[in-house]
Structure 1
Amino acid sequence: MKKEEILNILKNKISEKILTFENLIAETRASSNDTKSSMGDKYETGREILQQEINNLQVQLNEVLKQRDFLKSLSTKPSVKAEKGALVKTDKGLFYISVSLSNIDLDGNKIFCISPDSPLAKVLEGKSESESISLNNVTHKILNIF
């Protein structure tokens, strides 16, 4: 498995999310400026709602920026144990311990991108090939670690 390729796909997805949030924030700010009228309280209420939406989008953007920074810290070198940056193949699937993001289809393989803080990653942490783990009454046997 090529971890570099997986990491690049994730970085591209994160970059797209960042652009989307930045565009949404800019559009919301522009519509906030367009709501000026002589309606008094209604104007202020509408403007406050738009400001709350901008704040909400900013919080989401900050989370995605943290994910981008975290991805920059990952190594693509082969891993011996399940840890951040490891690609872990179990009898139940392929798990890339990186950021929680949509699944990736690569070379006919479905790769689940999971956060190091996820329950599965916490149970996998420090495990090696041939070991088994159990989570929610489901046992995973670790076949390979890349």
Structure 2
Amino acid sequence: MTKPVLHAACQAFIEQRMAAAAQAMQAAQESANSDTKSSAGDKYETGREMATQERDRHAAQLHQARQLAAELARISPDAPCDAVRPGALVQTSLGWFYLAISAGRLVVDGQEYFAVSGAAPVAGALKGKRAGEEALFNGQTVRVLAVA
């Protein structure tokens, strides 16, 4: 079954983002802590402030990754779908979409899939559609071939 594999790939994407953000936060904190006060006090304060801002930026990225993890946790990859909704694997005339989180292009067994969030424009256009139905997306007609 492809959905559990895509779900796991989305989870790995989130874990990688969380690890990168946590590591960057730690590096920025260490940089701020290692800055020693010199006779040029302004230079010291500016360096510490820049490192603090960098740490805060990475903390925000970590928070966003945690939100993605919570969003993904609400989706059961084993639940069957007969209409386009979060958790659905949708084959369209544009390609395959997994409605979960915005993780981008994923390749499973040589097949390309796009993991998109429910807030993505393509997901909005396809929402509630069933196999055989069509939707308008970016000025073109998109045919839903299958929903799983």
Same fold (TM over 0.5): yes
**Which residue pairs with 2:130 in the alignment?**
128
- Aligned counterparts, 1:70-81, within 5 A: 70-76=71-77, 77-81=79-83
Number of aligned residues:
146
Distance 1:116 1:82 in 2: 10
Gap regions ≥5 residues in structure 1: none
> How big is each residue's C-alpha offset from its partner over 1:79-106, in whole Å with a ceiling of 9 and x where there is no partner?
0110011111001100111111131111
SS at match of 2:130: coil
What is the Cα deviation at residue 129 of structure 1? 0.7
Distance 1:109 1:55 in 2: 38
Name the % identity.
30
**Which residue pairs with 2:117 in the alignment?**
115
> How big is each residue's C-alpha offset from its partner over 1:110-137, in whole Å with a ceiling of 9 and x where there is no partner?
0011110111101111111100011111
**Aligned amino acid, residue 23 of structure 1:** Q
**Which residue pairs with 1:28 in the alignment?**
28
Confirm whether residue 15 of structure 1 aligns to residue 8 of structure 2. Answer: no
What is the Cα deviation at residue 37 of structure 1? 2.1
Deviant stretches of 4+, over 6 Å:
none
Distance 2:65 2:44 in 1: 32
Give the TM-score normalised by structure 2.
Answer: 0.95
Gap regions ≥5 residues in structure 2: none
- Aligned counterparts, 1:48-59, within 5 A: 48-59=49-60
Indicate the RMSD between aligned Cα atoms, in angstroms.
1.0
Distance 1:56 1:21 in 2: 9
**Aligned amino acid, residue 98 of structure 2:** Y
Give the TM-score normalised by structure 1.
Answer: 0.96
Residue of structure 2 aligned with 1:100, choices 99, 102, 108: 102
Please identify, of 18-27 and 33-42, the stretch whose mean Cα deviation from structure 2 is larger: 33-42
